[in-house]
């Protein structure tokens, strides 16, 4: 199994969609990018920790490629929004791909370039992965546990 990390606004909606993608074996919501170790949701939602709401996607690379995950990531959120996602505004809701190695970085840059060539203006940041901190238990599988659907995310075919 391999792991990939994505931020695209509220992590509940991102998790909702990635859980449904063939080849994804597990999803975990949490935080990445800030300097505070083991931040709480209450701390992160202030927008002062430097952390972004992030999803850890565990996947089987024999069933789904990293590139396919990146493409899907762009199809499940508004990657052109620079200040958050939908009504969720703030630095903790920014769009980012967190790369673990140069191959992942190069893949993210290539797909970003394809979007630009298609006339889009991606606001997504491509950042080196930092330590991932789990969000509290009640955030895991949040929408599915409540039998709800995302408010700030919708799937739209791009590629």
pLDDT for the residue 127? 98
Structure tokens that stand for 101 in this block: 């190695």
DSSP 78-141: -TT-SSEETTEESGGG-EEEEESSHHHHHHHHHHHHHHHHTT-----EEEE----EEPPGGGTT
Structure tokens that stand for 97 in this block: 């791909």
Residue 152 lies in a domain: no
Based on the structure, what is the number of domains in the chain? 1
Residue 154 lies in a domain: no
**Contact assessment for residue 109 and residue 117, using Cβ atoms and an 8 Å cutoff:** no
Residue 153 lies in a domain: no
Q: SS3 of 23, please?
A: coil
pLDDT for the residue 36? 93
pLDDT for the residue 58? 98
pLDDT for the residue 151? 84
Between CA 134 and CA 140 the distance in angstroms is 9
Residue 101 lies in a domain: yes
pLDDT for the residue 3? 98
The domain in which residue 130 lies consists of 2-145
Q: Which residues are catalytic?
A: 10
Question: In the chain, which residues have pLDDT < 70?
Answer: none
CATH number at residue 50: 3.30.1060.10
Residue 42 lies in a domain: yes
Residue 151 lies in a domain: no
């Amino acid at each position: 199994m391999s792991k990939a990390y994505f931020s695209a606004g509220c992590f509940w909606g991102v998790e909702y969609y990635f859980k449904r993608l063939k080849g994804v074996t597990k999803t975990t919501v949490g935080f990445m990018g800030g300097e505070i170790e083991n931040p709480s949701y209450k701390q992160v939602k202030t927008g002062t920790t430097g952390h972004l709401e992030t999803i850890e996607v565990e996947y089987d690379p024999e069933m789904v490629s990293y590139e396919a995950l990146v493409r899907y990531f762009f199809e499940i959120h508004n990657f052109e929004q620079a200040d958050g996602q939908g009504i969720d505004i703030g630095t903790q809701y920014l769009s980012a791909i967190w790369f673990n190695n140069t191959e992942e970085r190069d893949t993210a840059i290539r797909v970003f370039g394809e979007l630009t060539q298609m006339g889009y203006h991606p606001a997504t940041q491509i950042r080196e992965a930092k330590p991932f901190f789990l969000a509290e238990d009640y955030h895991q599988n949040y929408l599915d546990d409540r039998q709800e659907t995302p408010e700030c995310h919708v799937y739209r075919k791009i590629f």
